Amino acid sequence: MPYYRSVGEVPRKRHTQFRQPDGSLYAEELVGQEGFSSDSSLLYHRHAPTAIVAAEEFTPPAFTRVPNLPLKPRHLRTHKLDGTGADPVLGRQYLLANDDVRIAYVLADRPSPLFRDATGDHCLYLESGSLRVESPFGVLEAVAGDYVIIPTSTIHRLVPTGAEPTRLLAIEAAGHVGPPKRYLSVRGQFLEHSPYCERDVRGPDAPLLVDGEDVEVLVRHRRGWTRYTYAHHPFDVVGWDGHLYPWAFSIHDFEPITGRIHQPPPVHQTFQGPNFVICSFVPRKVDYHPDAIPVPYNHHNVDSDEMLFYTGGNYEARRGSGIEQGSISLHPSGFTHGPQPGAAERSIGVDFFDELAVMVDTFRPLDLCDAASQCEDDGYAWTWARRG
């Protein structure tokens, strides 16, 4: 994250003696990206974070990937995946994936196990409900409309907290996710043209200080999954400081960038990941040139697939296509896409769009996963050719 935080108790100088009430040393843990060459945080544990008493292979729920063949636009209705609920980690139903990112949906009504993903950062978007994110850094509360970024290898537990199940879109990166570099100064401060800033970002503000022995943690790593049993609870941290920690940002705090004529998707960019970007489409004043056509023009992104998750309001360009709350559209590279028939004419004179959507643009093709076939609207691809 672009700015420094200090939480709980930390010594004045790093890597110096910091003793517990009984005189023993607290155990330091440096969590850092790119070796020792990028962002990091320094945590102080009551017990050694390296002490494990067991390790065994773990078999997670399986899913398969198949190419988007024949190549065509797709419409996935995520609410058709509703079941009795699940935990927000192992219950994820994978929809789309490539070697850079996996996109899943879950209706969660129970806590997840302790989990660490050593393969990349997670960006979670809460469609509805509320969620408590517990980690060695403390507690982070999230509500509908929040993005939550969980850095690589952070042990965490996701706990739905509302009366109703939490609907969650999970974007799992094979690398790191953060604000676009063009929004940041060379020292990491948000610049004046950024659509959000440090005041909009929330991080943990107090240690959890959980005690316990023989605690199981599931770890996804580059060779598979392992279930570790730790000698002591990993949330035994008395304090930490640094730039790397879980953080949350509300889509409702994204300040839209508008213009006299239609603005392209990069103005909606919110995060960047390895070979993909995440954008936020929010309620906003739209094009105010007297001859403007507010909906998007037909466009052919020759280098990227475009996925849109519709999470509120009315998306003018897709009216008449069956798009609804919780829908996901996939418009692949190699196919020209644009507004539904009649949308351009209907939009003339409109001065405000009341829409809420999360977009993921990938620079490698997205494959279809098992859950996609369970909730696909097979007629979507032909909606541009309707006659009469």
Which string of DSSP letters, residue by residue, matches 19-88? B-TTSPBPEEEEEESTTTTS-EEEEEESS-TT-EEEEEE--PPP--EE---S---EEEEGGGG--S-B-T
Q: 64 and 369 in contact (C-beta within 8 Å)?
A: yes
Q: Which of 193, 262, 289, 300 is catalytic?
A: 262
CATH top class, domain 51-63+83-235+245-251: mainly beta
Residue 30 to residue 40: CA distance in whole angstroms: 7
Annotated binding-site members for Fe cation? 299, 305, 337
The mean per-residue pLDDT over the stretch 264-272 comes to: 94
Could you check whether 51-63+83-235+245-251 and 254-385 share the same CATH topology? yes
Annotated binding-site members for homogentisate? 315
Residue 207 to residue 1: CA distance in whole angstroms: 18
pLDDT value of residue 208? 94
Active site residue 193: no
Nearest to 149 by CA among 166, 160, 135: 135
pLDDT digits (tens, 9 = 90+) for 4-31: 999 999 999 999 999 999 999 999 999 9
pLDDT digits (tens, 9 = 90+) for 97-141: 999 999 999 999 999 999 999 999 999 999 999 999 999 999 999
Q: What is the model's pTM?
A: 0.95
Residue 339 binned pLDDT confidence (cut-offs 50, 70, 90): confident
Residue 385 binned pLDDT confidence (cut-offs 50, 70, 90): confident
Residue 108 tokens, joined:
């969660």
Annotated binding-site members? 299, 305, 315, 337
Residue 321 clears pLDDT 80, i.e. is over it: no
Residue 387 binned pLDDT confidence (cut-offs 50, 70, 90): very low
Domain boundaries defined on the chain:
51-63+83-235+245-251, 254-385
Name the CATH superfamily for 254-385. Jelly Rolls (2.60.120.10)
For residue 72, the one-letter residue type is K
Backbone angles phi, psi at 284, to 5 degrees: -165, 155
How many C-alpha atoms does 155 have within 13 Å on its Cβ side? 22
